[in-house]
Structure 1
């Protein structure tokens, strides 16, 4: 659980920095030239979008990613305190974070989303429920056989 929570927190912080980097680079000449090149080649040439429109869309997507990442970083700290509602809200926010972070460098957004999925798997489910963790191994390291009913 600690690893998943820290992946969420640190990954979210990196997404926030990436989003602000994207917003600040949006007005550079190099970014404008890349967008012009993109819009002049198929399949984007048929979209009818202007460079300023694409820059505005990228700015809004980056701000959505930054907002979702800020919220997930805060909720990640709550997960360390066994908050079930934080786990639920992280699951909701993982979707817009994953989708919007894909436009600003996707890897960290995908990492945060994967860590959120880990919160719903065993042994995390037992940990959130306050139950003892399932025993899978014997003291000597061999896999424990399950008892048939």
Structure 2
């Protein structure tokens, strides 16, 4: 009886290890470019990375989702501490003009890094995440990292 329980536990552990190995296998990884973003996939986790140089009065950056996703972490890092206004918007459809304001910061000079973790913004297939910047010093850069999971 004890041997059978031990054998069952070992089989369960072996099965779990195989699942982990499969999830981390090179076949489950993907790297490339998506809508101008650097794109990485590990299993169902998606990572989008973009670096922009601010060029004028306002600037927008879009990320359209072809599949339903849940955004879990968003990080924005600027190379200066000058004033900036930003708006993070969600469009239910990429061609729709109506949006939901997810977050904003007005003329914030104290922050050169914004990290939002555990935010759990859910996007349906066809929706758009938009970064809208204004009042940002021309020539300065921002690096954005978005981590999401496919639903």
Which of the pair has the greater relative contact order for Cα pairs under 8 Å at 6+ separation? 2
Q: TM-score over 0.5 for the alignment?
A: no
Tell me which protein shows more strand as a share of its residues: 2
TM (norm. structure 1) is 0.24
TM (norm. structure 2) is 0.24
Tell me which protein shows more helix as a share of its residues: 1
